[in-house]
Amino acid sequence: MGQRLNRCLDVPVALPPLRRRLLLLFIMLFLWLYMFYSCAGSCAGLATRGSPAPPRAAPPLPQLLPPVPGEPGEESSLEEQRAAPDAVSPISTFFNGSGTKRLPQAIIIGVKKGGTRALLEFLRVHPDVRAVGAEPHFFDRNYERGLAWYRDLMPRTLEGQITMEKTPSYFVTKEAPARISSMSKGTKLIVVVRDPVTRAISDYTQTLSKKPDIPTFESLTFKNRTTGLIDTSWSAIQIGIYAKHLENWLLYFPIGQILFVSGERLISDPAGELGRVQDFLGLKRIITDKHFYFNKTKGFPCLKKAEGSSKPHCLGKTKGRTHPDIDQEVVQRLRDFYRPFNMKFYQMTGQDFGWD
């Protein structure tokens, strides 16, 4: 080996000094990389032989989904499910990006128009949180695609980082609790809730911006306005019956595994609510008051520096829309309708959100 190295270094004297130095640098870099990646495997083996480690229990495997009829190739084998998370060599990690794609350990499951996008954007400032930007809708619309497809949507994470996603419609999807529990019973769930009357008006405002010819909020609220019978089949109303939806989740997850974030406090005290979320996820409290400033035009807090940027960042123009004027008699009837459901929700969660 030494003779070969000497021959490699036997550069003609006539070679310019700069080229000679570059050649020497290249050879040293090559040797360093060779020794590093050789040691990555051999040193680990020596350490294992020298001090035998206690046996470790294998992590629980997510349940596999049956193949979708008429769509061969969608299914994945048990061996692939077991090997995929750990089958990443140091060299492939070096060239393909650091970390491993994992199924999420925490999911923001609701609610629509409650402040879920703001919460996710705020959380992404934390260095130990990696999240999918778009809503995967796996547990409500794409479940037949399988867990391998779902995992492939996730960002790569390093050891100690948390993988997250948010899809607000999960909270009102009957099948979602059982499906998430089947993936992992230890998944941490986050629900951002908001005054159900304000939430319903915000929901209607969003639809109105896309379909200007829809009926008025007042006409959609009632099955019969004369009798005052509320139309609970309208999704804008139904989503706000939080207690009813929560009962379904508690069949599969303990209440301590679900964090309820106040959409109102997320606006008035974002750092305080983010502190609770960071504690719930087992993260160091890094996101504090210094990360926010209040945007008077939009009427809610914005980030001084967003993830991967040195510039201030506010949510897009689809957030913070001006609500249409709603008949106050209708608003009051809705408050009366939601009151018993709100009281039950307060009892179930042990939190008074102050909506009445």
Q: Give the separation between CA 64 and CA 183, rounded to whole angstroms.
A: 9
Tell me which of 113, 244, 317, 344 is the catalytic residue: 113
Given a contact cutoff of 8 angstroms between Cβ atoms, the answer to whether 154 and 134 are in contact is no
Per-residue pLDDT, 81? 32
DSSP string, 250-310: TTTS-GGGEEEEEHHHHHH-HHHHHHHHHHHTT------GGGEEEETTTTEEEESS-TT-S
pLDDT reading at 332 higher than 50: yes
Q: Check whether the bond before 11 is cis (ω within 30° of 0).
A: no
pLDDT band at 103 (very low <50, low <70, confident <90, very high): very high
Which of 54-58, 140-144, 216-220, 309-313 is least confident?
A: 54-58
Query: CA-CA distances (angstroms) from residue 319 to 113, 172, 280, 323?
Result: 9, 22, 26, 11
Q: Give the separation between CA 246 and CA 11, rounded to whole angstroms.
A: 76
Per-residue pLDDT, 49? 40
Given a contact cutoff of 8 angstroms between Cβ atoms, the answer to whether 195 and 356 are in contact is no
Q: Give the separation between CA 288 and CA 271, rounded to whole angstroms.
A: 5
211 CB burial (10 A radius; 0-12, 13-18, 19+):
exposed
194 known ligand binder: yes
Within the chain, strands assigned E span 100-101, 106-110, 129-131, 156-157, 162-166, 188-193, 222-224, 229-230, 258-262, 292-295, 300-303
102 or 1: which leads in pLDDT? 102
Instruction: Reply yes or no on whether 290 is catalytic.
Output: no
Identify which of 85, 89, 80, 79 has the alpha carbon closest to the alpha carbon of residue 102: 85
The answer for residues whose C-beta is within 8 angstroms of residue 75's C-beta and 6 or more apart is 64, 65, 66, 67, 68, 146
pLDDT band at 69 (very low <50, low <70, confident <90, very high): very low
pLDDT reading at 31 higher than 50: yes
How many CB atoms sit inside 10 A of residue 161's CB?
A: 19
What does the mean pLDDT of the chain come to?
Answer: 81
89 known ligand binder: no
pLDDT reading at 177 higher than 90: yes
Given a contact cutoff of 8 angstroms between Cβ atoms, the answer to whether 100 and 156 are in contact is yes
Per-residue pLDDT, 22? 74
Given a contact cutoff of 8 angstroms between Cβ atoms, the answer to whether 321 and 206 are in contact is yes
Tokens at 155, concatenated: 């960002």
213 CB burial (10 A radius; 0-12, 13-18, 19+):
exposed
113 known ligand binder: yes
Given a contact cutoff of 8 angstroms between Cβ atoms, the answer to whether 265 and 272 are in contact is yes
126 known ligand binder: no
Per-residue pLDDT, 316? 59
321 known ligand binder: yes
Q: Determine the residue type at 69.
A: P
Which of 39-48, 66-75, 114-123, 310-319 is least confident?
A: 66-75
Q: Determine the residue type at 17.
A: P
322 or 215: which leads in pLDDT? 215
Tokens at 58, concatenated: 């294998």
State the chain's maximal CA–CA distance in angstroms. Answer: 102
| CA neighbours closer than 13 Å in the CB half-sphere of residue 134 | 5
pLDDT reading at 10 higher than 70: no
pLDDT band at 29 (very low <50, low <70, confident <90, very high): confident
The answer for residues whose C-beta is within 8 angstroms of residue 104's C-beta and 6 or more apart is 154, 163, 164, 165, 187
350 known ligand binder: no
41 CB burial (10 A radius; 0-12, 13-18, 19+):
exposed
Class of domain 103-195+234-318: alpha beta
Q: Give the separation between CA 127 and CA 122, rounded to whole angstroms.
A: 11
